[in-house]
A = this chain, B = another copy of it.
C-alpha cells in the first residue's frame, strides 16, 4: 500500500520524514497501543511524532503527577485548527494529565505586533471555547503570559544567563530583542510548572506542531542547564499535523475565507465549505468513472480531523470517494450538516461561558 493511498492520512507524514531523521523526533506508531485509552488523533497519525512520550506515558501509568502545557497565539478568532488542539488537550486531561494553557499575549504583542486589547479579547475567546468543548475549568489552569507571578518572570531572567546569541541565531535566524524575550518566555511557559510554587509537575508534555520543534529543543537544552540549580527536567513533546484551510494551505485567521471560525454563522460556513478545495474531478462524469482523491481534499480532512470519529465511517467515505460513488457536492453537504450540528451544540455552551465575569474565576485577565 503506497502512502498516498492511506485513508489515515499517513501520506502527509512523508513531508515530516526529515524530522525523524534529522532532529530525532520519533514516530508515534509504536506508542499508539500504549495509550490508556485510544483516540482517533493518534490512530490517524494527526499526532504523528514525539520526544520521550513513552516515558511520559509510563509516569502517567505509575500515577506520578504529569502535566500538559500548551500555548497559543491570540492572533485572531478561534477556528477549527484551534479546536483540534483543544480536542487533543481534552483527551490528555481525560487520561489523567493536569492541563495548563498559556495565552501567548506577550509574544503576540512584541513579535507579531498585534494590538493589545485584541490579544486579550482573542485569548478570552479561546479559553471560553476550550471550556465549552469539554476542558474542565476546575481542573485546567489558564493564564496570560503578561499576568503571571514573579517566579515565572524570574525564570526568564535566569534562562537568559545560559543561552548564547549564537544559539538564538541558530534557531531564529535573524533575531531581535523581542524574539529573544519571546523565546525565553516560551521556555518559562514550558518549564515553570516544575517549580513547587506552580505545582511541582516534573513531567510536562508539550503538544506542538512540528514547526515549533526548535522551541522544544531550546527548552530541553535550558532544562539540562538548570537541572542542578533548579531541578528542572526535560519536557516531553508530541507533534501534530494541522488541519488545512479550505484552500489547501495552512488554516489561519489571516485568511478568513479559508478558515472556519467557531463563531461563523451557518450561512458563512456553508458558503466556505461549498467553495472548498477538494480532490474531485473536473466533471461529475469523470469523477464517477475515475474516482476522487481524498488525499488532496480539504473536505475529507474535515471528516478525518473532526467529523467522523468512527474509523469505519471514515474508511467507507474514503472508499466511496476513491471509487466515484460519492460526488463532491453531496460530500460537502454532508460535511456541512455534521459540522453545523457539532458547532451548534458547542456554541450553546460557549455563549454562557464567554463572559469576562464568568472567566475571571479561572484566569487573571491582564489590565494593560
A153 at the interface (CB under 8 A from B): yes
A110 at the interface (CB under 8 A from B): yes
Taking CB atoms, residues of chain B closer than 8 Å to A180 are 160, 177, 180-181
Contact of A161 among B113, B146, B153 (CB under 8 A): B113
Taking CB atoms, residues of chain B closer than 8 Å to A185 are 157
Query: Least Cβ distance of A172 to chain B in Å?
Result: 11
Contact: A368 with B161, CB < 8 Å?
Answer: no
Among A147, A180, A230, the one with the most B-chain Cβ atoms within 10 Å of its Cβ is A180
Taking CB atoms, residues of chain B closer than 8 Å to A230 are 368
A67 at the interface (CB under 8 A from B): no
Taking CB atoms, residues of chain B closer than 8 Å to A106 are 154, 157
Contact: A160 with B184, CB < 8 Å?
Answer: no
Query: Least Cβ distance of A41 to chain B in Å?
Result: 33
Taking CB atoms, residues of chain B closer than 8 Å to A165 are 175-177
Taking CB atoms, residues of chain B closer than 8 Å to A153 are 146, 148, 150, 153, 156
> C-beta contact mask, A171-210 vs B, less than 8 Å → 1, else 0?
0000111101110110000000001000000000000000
Contact: A110 with B157, CB < 8 Å?
Answer: yes
Query: Least Cβ distance of A255 to chain B in Å?
Result: 25
Closest to A177 in B: B160
Query: Least Cβ distance of A3 to chain B in Å?
Result: 41
The answer for the CA separation of A92 and B368 in the assembled complex, in Å, is 32
A109 at the interface (CB under 8 A from B): yes
The answer for the CA separation of A149 and B147 in the assembled complex, in Å, is 9
The answer for the CA separation of A249 and B163 in the assembled complex, in Å, is 33
Contact: A150 with B157, CB < 8 Å?
Answer: no
Contact: A178 with B160, CB < 8 Å?
Answer: yes
Contact of A150 among B149, B158, B175 (CB under 8 A): B149
With A165-B176, A165-B177, A177-B165 known as contacts, the answer to whether A368 contacts B160 (CB < 8 A) is no
- Report the count of interface residues on A (CB-CB < 8 A): 37
Contact: A157 with B109, CB < 8 Å?
Answer: yes
The answer for the CA separation of A145 and B150 in the assembled complex, in Å, is 9
The answer for the CA separation of A160 and B146 in the assembled complex, in Å, is 14
With A158-B109, A181-B157, A181-B181 known as contacts, the answer to whether A176 contacts B150 (CB < 8 A) is no
Taking CB atoms, residues of chain B closer than 8 Å to A111 are 161
The answer for the CA separation of A175 and B168 in the assembled complex, in Å, is 12
The answer for the CA separation of A180 and B180 in the assembled complex, in Å, is 8
A37 at the interface (CB under 8 A from B): no
Please name 25 pairs of A and B residues whose Cβ atoms are closer than 8 Å in the assembled complex, sorted by A.
A106-B157, A109-B158, A109-B161, A110-B157, A110-B160, A110-B161, A145-B157, A146-B157, A147-B150, A149-B150, A150-B153, A151-B368, A153-B156, A156-B181, A157-B185, A160-B176, A160-B177, A160-B180, A160-B181, A160-B182, A163-B178, A165-B176, A165-B177, A180-B180, A230-B368
Given contacts A106-B157, A181-B181, 11 further A-B contacts (CB under 8 A): A109-B158, A110-B158, A145-B157, A146-B154, A148-B150, A148-B153, A151-B368, A157-B185, A160-B181, A163-B178, A195-B368
7 nearest CB pairs, A to B: A153-B153, A160-B178, A160-B177, A110-B161, A106-B157, A160-B181, A163-B177
